[in-house]
Structure 1
Amino acid sequence: MALAADLTGWWVGYAIGVPVVLVVAALLILIVLTVRRIAAVADDATGSLRRTRERTEVLWQVETTNRMAKEILDGAAEARRALGG
């Protein structure tokens, strides 16, 4: 009987410990799955930003295009004046 009384604490510990470990394991699995989903969304967002940058990079050159067009127009106007027109 003394042996059974000594093991009661162990059984109570197991009865409490096993559910706690299972809950912690389940929470850890949920966290890992959530992190994977977040990583996938972050990869998609990074890809979208990269494509957006590539497609709009030309817009940064609009100022140069406008400046060159103005120079061409000014040159054409000066040529017209030089020809008497």
Structure 2
Amino acid sequence: MGGASPCASCKLLRRRCAKDCIFAPYFPSDDPHKFAIVHKVFGASNVSKMLQVLLSFPFPFPRENCLTLFFTFRKNNGI
């Protein structure tokens, strides 16, 4: 959680944003539209599970780029 403001996920889901919130690094409070789209397609629980799997792999480039590619691929290919 960045500062006193909850991440976009916690704000949309109307819950308290914990220090170790899995969504906070990828869905900052200043871009709520990004999480709203992902939430509409996959649901918060599935996004959380996908993030946990995705974060378990080492990547040589920024995870934010990988996350965007991952969600786009899943949406476009129905996997």
The TM tier, using the shorter chain, reads: under 0.3
| TM-score normalised to structure 2 length | 0.21
Question: Radius of gyration: which is bigger?
Answer: 1
| TM-score normalised to structure 1 length | 0.20
Q: Which has the higher contact order (CA 8 A, sep 6+)?
A: 2
Larger % of helix: which? Answer: 1
